[in-house]
Structures are given as C-alpha cells and as structure tokens.
Chains A and B, each alone.
Chain A
Amino acid sequence: SQTIHQWPATLVQPVGSPLSLECTVEGTSNPNLYWYRQAAGRGLQLLFYSVGIGQISSEVPQNLSASRPQDRQFILSSKKLLLSDSGFYLCAWMSGIGYTFGSGTRLTVV
C-alpha cells in the first residue's frame, strides 16, 4: 500500500534561519507530489508541485523553494525564514482518485 511520510511534526525556528522539510512516498513510482500551506482552520494554498525528478512548478512567489532529488522525495526549503512563513505545511501525492496527505508539519517562526 502507498504511504507518505513527512517530518518533523513540529518545528520552531528563529527569523532568518534556514528551513528544510522532507517528504517521502512509499509504494508508488513517479508520483505527482505537492506542498501545501494551511492557515489555522482554513483552506490549503498550493505552494509547489512536481511531476517528476527535478521538475518543480511554483504557484505563488514566496520565500520558499522546493526540490525533488529522487522520484519519491520532495523537499521544501528556505534560506531565511520570515515570520509570515509560520503555518501548517502539508505534503501530498495525487493518486487516480484524490490526494493522500502526510500528517503535516507545524512551523512556528519566532
């Protein structure tokens, strides 16, 4: 069966520090992978998606970047975090019927 792993679950980082969130998928090959950000109790904003190794599409200009170094690995990064980068970050892959999401990372920038 397909599973998606995302870590860490929570993260507190100072302003100006770097960020690296990792997401890996098991049980499928060549998945479409996504990074979303969610404000508290609200909908999801698409940040990046990838249809293959090295292929990244960005939806909104921001302080973040993404990379896909391996087929089943998707990484969200920042060189210098801003206070506005705080939020709940979700990784997902798209199967034929819908998204399967990771358990999320709660990022607080202080």
Chain B
Amino acid sequence: TQLLEQSPQFLSIQEGENLTVYCNSSSVFSSLQWYRQEPGEGPVLLVTVVTGGEVKKLKRLTFQFGDARKDSSLHITAAQPGDTGLYLCAGGNTGNQFYFGTGTSLTVIP
C-alpha cells in the first residue's frame, strides 16, 4: 500500500478566505487526482495531473503536482460555502488502481 498523507485533516474557515490543502507521499506516482465528496455521496473527480510541476486551474481552484511527482497541493481562492466537503487526493501508477489520501474535511462558514 502506498500511503498518501493529507494535511490539514480538518479546516474551518470564513467565506472569502484562501486555503491550501497538501497531499504528500514518499512514493512516486505517474498521475495524481483530486476528488471532492459531499456527505452521503461518492467522491467526484475534480482534476488529474500527470506531469511533474504541472499546474491546473479550475475556476477558483489551483492544483499543483510536485516536481518529483510525490506530492500535490490544492489551493482555493476566496472560498465559498459551496466548497465545503471532503477533499481527497489519489495517486496512481501503471496499474489499474489509485491509492487514496487520508482526506481533508473543509468547512466554509458563511
């Protein structure tokens, strides 16, 4: 099992603030994905990054894959209550499966 640690585990912020979530591993991955999950639902894919150093933007969300492809970050600008949820990173290689991180639970207070 390839372990991905996410930090922080819990995050509660006011609407309009910025935040960054981290996903770290000692393993190298060929690709990394970020998902958001709402209570009682399955996770929904936000982005996939495949190149070391790659940066992808999705509206107010910015995703970065580390140069060594062992870590990733998710930055949210001007957070909104609709951003509330559990954020999960998942790293994969040439096999048919991804290993999920420990999760970051984000609450954005109006």
Contacts and interface: CB of A to CB of B under 8 A. Distances in A.
For chain A, the bracket of interface size reads 20 to 34
Contact of B96 (A51, A90, A98): A51
Interface stretch (B54-62, B73-81, B97-105): B97-105
Nearest to A102: B42
Taking chain B's interface residues, is the majority helix, strand, or loop, or is none over half, making it mixed? strand
Interface residues of B, number: 24
Nearest to A10: B40
Contact of B97 (A41, A46, A104): A46
A101 B36 CA distance: 11
A43 B103 CA distance: 5
Contact of A104 (B1, B40, B44, B105): B40
A104 B102 contact: no
Interface of B: 1, 4, 6, 33, 35, 40-45, 48, 86, 88, 90, 96-103, 105
